[in-house]
Chains A and B, each alone.
Chain A
């Protein structure tokens, strides 16, 4: 039976091409794999092979023809002795009419326009632990260690790996004591190979374990970011929901003190832009503990951004056998009516200190700790802005494409008519982190900057 040979698509973008040369003539016998023509695509001249064996019956498009649309019949191939003279040169180009889904974006998510005068969203203000719970004082470092230890006792598939996590007891002593309790099988010192052990951790998660991968700092995770994003974050989607990477990547993030440009970056905004990741950046010890426990139990890859300066800070932590804090629930540290200050992680130290100073001048700031950056508790932010009509964001990261930029856009979209001033972003400066003490201080945001921003939006 005669079959048409169609003009092939020979690159991802090819729509038409030139039939440069026929290497066979009518009546020639060809077998699969024989080159029958040369075709010029938008990228190169390609050899075109026969797919089936047979006899070239009729050549429908002469060599040298330009602009031959993909899928136009260019020749007819049949069995020996078959009459194919009736085959006609196709006049109309016949691109494959695939139904596309373009232009039918009716399934769009909540990014669509929102009525300007929307009612304030309902927010979850239930307490994180029952009232009257006994509290104990703990550093962030101890709280993180306890969270890991509790989850490792609860689930045998949880293990910790990273540089100096076992015998050295943690470069910042966060994993102190874990080796003694859980042994070398579950607390694993790795060679200094971030790319390799991050990928190995992803494979272990695919294989049914719950890895906690510690980076000595997230600055070093830049060597591993391909596995964090391409291998961990995207696999659930790429596999149609069949498998993903339930794991935690954790470690200190952002500036410590005097460690220079390569050890001081805040990656909050980078990771928060990736669908498939969850991103946590706690401030207090209680949040560090409750959120890390949630992160370890979460069936998705979680980026857990700690801070070296906060490790040694003490906070009140509930003295409970088991407590977790859900993702996507911000914490209001201070209620106020004049301005909303939104921050997270170490940014909260500036936000809370500024709020104290502002209170002395009669400005009552509402201070929101996002706690998780993906998901973000937008509702709590919007409800607050609808009340105060002003907003200042605070973070240590770079200013371009910062979390503050994103929040400004979100607030503009969802509460435009409530704003009495532009949203201002207090961020780190748009420079690599300098070493000199005075320059470093200026490269970060500061309490006076936050105070000034609040005064600006409150027109004081």
Chain B
């Protein structure tokens, strides 16, 4: 099922970016794709274990929204989180080393693919329970509003999570308290193996906000500029104190739900068609080439540079030692300040 046509796509016909910005998005999306391909490879080699959910196909979502964010804005997402971490500037080495469960990983090897965090980059996880990040995101926004710091929180979740009860609870509170939170529904059409139409009879997820008075819209998630434009609108809404905003970003995951998903619930042709006709990276690549903003050689240089970054990350993730056994017993409790009893 291809993404539905949206109004935002038409808006993107007039690019809202410079050539340099466009190249940056190309670079950032390519980094995510190459990183994820490498992660898939390392999984195949047994260097990454457990669950590993790849973001390939959805790159334009996080890159477009990060382009609309400002320093200090927060983000929180589900277990399909590698793309979000790279897009907000976390170090690919630290992310890859967490995937391999090594000391150099963001969580010292104790979190894994689904559980990474960065206080420095305002990335609040990496949550493994479907939709749990939704009230957490509203809580981050609650803290921002309480502190009056003008920040917004991007709360990402999928079409599967959108059906969870706690999403409804959170919409209600977020609108009731005018929280500066952007609910980003990454609709990649499948909740694991269940297509949207097999899980709900009201498939326009963003429209559910209307029940709570929350504004929102659907966006073409294969068009990074459309995502950015919609993101800017949502950010402006939140920063103006108007409360939450819902963006339903229509996207597509090329790979299985996780590495062990044989993906029998959709045809190979469907995936192939999205890859060939709607690929977000190819879209930007063609814009750069046809607009005369970059030459084939320019793009090859970027490709090479990205390949090197990813290879370095992979090397680091193999060389970084496993965590020391003492790490088993650390970080269970934060130290309390001395009592003044």
A→B interface (CB under 8 Å) = 6, 8-12, 14, 32-33, 35, 41, 43-47, 51, 70-71, 95-96, 98-101, 104, 106-107, 109, 128-129, 157, 159, 185, 190-191, 193, 195-209, 226-227, 230-231, 235-244, 246, 275-276, 278, 290, 294, 297-300, 322-327
Contacts and interface: CB of A to CB of B under 8 A. Distances in A.
Nearest to B264: A44
Contacts of B336: 294, 297-300, 327
Interface of B: 37, 40-41, 43-47, 49-51, 74, 76, 105-111, 115-119, 124-129, 132, 134-144, 146-147, 165-166, 169-170, 172-173, 176, 254, 259-260, 262-264, 268, 275, 322, 325-326, 328-337, 339-341
A242 B176 contact: no
Nearest to B44: A8
A194 to B, nearest CB: 9
A443 B143 CA distance: 44
A98 B332 contact: no
A59 to B, nearest CB: 17
A7 B340 CA distance: 61
Contacts of A96: 45-47
A409 B131 CA distance: 38
Contacts of A209: 142-143, 146-147
A198 to B, nearest CB: 8
Contact of A44 (B262, B331, B335): B262
A195 B135 contact: yes
A71 B108 CA distance: 26
A65 to B, nearest CB: 17
A206 B139 contact: yes
A234 to B, nearest CB: 8
Contacts of A159: 146
6 contacts: A6-B45, A193-B169, A199-B166, A242-B106, A246-B334, A297-B336
Contacts of A99: 322
Contact of A200 (B37, B108, B135, B147): B135
Tell me whether chain A's interface is mostly helix, strand or loop, or mixed. Answer: loop
A207 B44 contact: no
Contact of B325 (A106, A196, A230, A324): A106
B135 A227 contact: yes
A203 B139 contact: yes
B94 to A, nearest CB: 10
Given A196-B135, A243-B117, A243-B124, A237 B332 contact: yes
Nearest to B321: A99
B280 to A, nearest CB: 15
B136 A206 contact: yes
A35 B269 CA distance: 12
A207 B135 contact: no
A282 to B, nearest CB: 15
A214 to B, nearest CB: 15
A107 to B, nearest CB: 4
Contacts of B129: 226, 230-231
Nearest to B337: A297
Residue in A70, A159, A201, A239 with the greatest tally of chain B CB atoms within 10 Å: A239
Contact of A236 (B127, B134, B322, B332): B332
Nearest to B147: A208
A204 B140 contact: yes
A201 B170 CA distance: 11
A152 to B, nearest CB: 13
